[in-house]
Structure 1
Amino acid sequence: MLTPLKENRFSGRLRHLWSKLKHSSIKTFALLFAFGFSLSLTVSACTPTQQTNTTTAPTSAATSVASSNSQQSNVIRIGYQKYGTLSILKSRGSLEKRLASQNISLQWLQFPAGPQLLEALNAGSIDFGHTGEAPPIFAQAAGAPLVYVANEPPNPKGEAILVRKDSPIQDVAGLKGKKVVFNKGSNVHYLVVEALRAAGLKYSDIQPIYLPPAEARAAFEQGSVDAWAIWDPFFTVAKRATDARVLKDGEGLVANREFYLAAKPFNDQYSDRTKAILEELQKIDEWAATQPTEVAKLLSPALGIDVPTLEEVARRRPYGVQPITAEVITYQQKVADTFLDLKLLPKQIKISELAQVTKQ
């Protein structure tokens, strides 16, 4: 367990590494994505806020990798983020009830964002998880053994570029030469790219600052950056708490789908378990779609976010587990090609190689 002092020092070094990425080479970024987050996962395993109530004790990435070949067949390791249908499924406990008769238990591991979650999948630390549209693209380029198994409907209003309420910046064109903070390789990374393109700007016209949500918000509130691209629930929390202005959300620019992804070895061996997870997710979505207040009340204690804020997020969000279609694959390929053109992706990839059409 890291002491607070040691953890702060580690976090400082990690922030320094992220800041150097602004002008890093393609190989450096690929290497960081493929290996660097194993350090942050070690911290996650030692930090109480990254541990959750599970039916089995959380393990570090190093431990999981060491035991990946001998993983107990009665444990499913699920990676989730602070909000989404997986969070609701965890809180309701319905998947545990379904699998109990098969003597299968669940291990839930929380991650701050999609890139970190998929690094855990790449390292063999989780079997199933969810992210936005960009993280699996970078993970595929880094060689992660993942499979797209389903997605949620587009949610373009679930992410946005924010500026402080007193900012002189009035539109995306006003970001030229400014510092914009966001999580590198995340869904909002693509939002920033597309918003700049629509405003007649190039990606090189801004100063990107790469930080995960918590540190990005601190930088935003302290005024050390000019704008912040972020997704829900962080987006709505920050907007309500700071009176931040929405400079541009994803409407008309991006789809902002949430994808369900499985580790290929897990999906190949236990396709029935993938199917069971997706079926329970669909049931939860059907319930959540008509119960936004109950969803907010359910998640509020675990997330530490007030009910009215979570209810706003829940009412705006679309629901429904959908199969991966040709249209979805085409869109994801467009996202991947965009990052490749910007020299942010180390090599060309084919989304179709990892996409699985899931019959519902």
Structure 2
Amino acid sequence: MSDTHPLNRRHLLQASLSAAAWATTASMPAWAAPPAPTAADLSKVTLRIGYYKGLWRPLITAAGLAQPPYRIEWRELNNGVLHIEALNGDALDVGSGSEIPALFAARQKAQVRFIAVVREDLNNQVTLARKDAPIQRIADLKGKRVGYVRATTSHYFLSKQLAEAGLSFNDIQAINLTPADGLSAFDRGDLDAWAIYGYNGQLARLRYGARVLKTGLGYLSGNFPIYANPRAVDDPLKHAAIADYLQRLRRAYLWANSNYLAYAQAQSAETRVAVGDLIELWNNRSTDYDLRAVDDSVVQGHQAVADTFLQLGVLDGPAQVAPLWDKSFKAALAAPLAAQVAKAA
């Protein structure tokens, strides 16, 4: 059972009023999992799940796992900050994003928890040079016009790559641009290099002959947190539904690893991105998909990112991330998978 509902900032603001009232009430500790209700009880539950176009919804559907014993309202939100805002405003139950928006959630003590991590490809996180630019390595970026997206993974891995080459943001002409604006600037020749993630980097390579100087591999953890609304986590029925959803999502990722063409076709139908381009991204991946439970190494890695962003001046003060990480779904994710991963519908 599923529906799709749009969200806008007015809805988020209205929802945040109820969130403020909720925040004054007591809640169980993040580590304490509520007792599991019966399967029949889940028919009463609706999970509001934020997703990115072309990702969770077509993945779950293509894997044949889109008929859970609860209702799903899919809500398309295409960046992690919007997921955090919606969760904090009690307009979502589950969302996702990179570790970076989660830092600001920790700094602002937002009403959000991080309940699992998805391991994703880091070869689509790239620092690119124009095909005709006299740039062969990161050290050659000194004095050059370099695009990036502030407070994202591209900001983080670019800072690490510069430091490794003995440079900093003060040594380049750093230009903060949205991914779409960055692609346009790259096309016009307004950038010499570009730190970017996802499909826009692939377009820059395919359309404009951009050259990869470095990828995010070795600089990023590869952990992309799944975010959750603490009100949902602390509700026994919704906790059980979220646990089931995580198990389905994990199975769907494992299915995609072996059936990527079918997944790419489902993605293409939703995004209008060519199947061949999606396959090329997949063939160049740094790792297969995986969904993992929270452990101490995940939390420590996230704290290291927070400390780096504090040094860069992106955060206005220290952010302690550990209180927002929730291990109450660890048992659900430790459960053995079904012997037969679902086949494509």
TM band (smaller chain): 0.7 to 0.9
Matched, 1:287 2:255: yes
**CA drift at 1:95:** 5.5
**CA drift at 1:182:** 2.2
Matched, 1:333 2:318: no
Equivalence map 1:44-123=2 (5 Å): 55-67=3-15, 69=18, 74-84=45-55, 86-89=56-59, 91-92=61-62, 96-99=66-69, 102=70, 104-111=71-78, 113-123=79-89
Matched, 1:158 2:124: yes
- Among 222, 236, 240, which residue is 2:188 paired with? 222
Contact 2:124 2:198 (8 Å CA) reproduced? yes
**CA drift at 1:74:** 4.5
The RMSD of aligned alpha carbons is 2.4
- 1:314 partner letter: W
Give 3-state SS (helix, strand or coil) of 1:180's partner. Answer: strand
- 1:218 partner letter: S
Alignment correspondent of 1:37 = none
Alignment correspondent of 1:267 = 233
Contact 1:115 1:186 (8 Å CA) reproduced? no
Q: Return 5+ residue gaps in structure 1 as ranges.
A: 1-53
Over residues 8-62 of structure 1, what are the superposed CA-to-partner deviations in whole Å (9 max), with x where a residue is unaligned? xxxxxxxxxxxxxxxxxxxxxxxxxxxxxxxxxxxxxxxxxxxxxx715324232
**CA drift at 1:225:** 2.0
- 1:81 partner letter: Y
Partners in 1 of 2:260 and 2:65 — Cα distance? 20
- 1:278 partner letter: L
Q: Return 5+ residue gaps in structure 2 as ranges.
A: 23-43, 334-345
Change (3 A) 1:207 1:264: farther
- 2:52 partner letter: Q
Alignment correspondent of 1:184 = 150
Change (3 A) 1:238 1:342: same
Q: Normalised by the size of structure 1, how large is the TM-score?
A: 0.76
Change (3 A) 1:181 1:81: farther
| Equivalent residues, number | 301
| Greater C-alpha Rg | 2
Structure 1 runs (4+) deviating above 4 angstroms are: 93-96
Over residues 277-327 of structure 1, what are the superposed CA-to-partner deviations in whole Å (9 max), with x where a residue is unaligned? 211111101110111211211111211211111012234252111011111
Partners in 1 of 2:204 and 2:61 — Cα distance? 24
- Among 313, 317, 320, which residue is 2:290 paired with? 320
Partners in 2 of 1:127 and 1:98 — Cα distance? 16
Over residues 337-357 of structure 1, what are the superposed CA-to-partner deviations in whole Å (9 max), with x where a residue is unaligned? 011112211121222111122
Equivalence map 1:137-152=2 (5 Å): 137-152=103-118
Structure with larger RCO (C-alpha < 8 A, sep 6+): 2
- 1:230 partner letter: I
Partners in 2 of 1:140 and 1:235 — Cα distance? 29
Partners in 1 of 2:4 and 2:280 — Cα distance? 33
Partners in 1 of 2:10 and 2:267 — Cα distance? 30
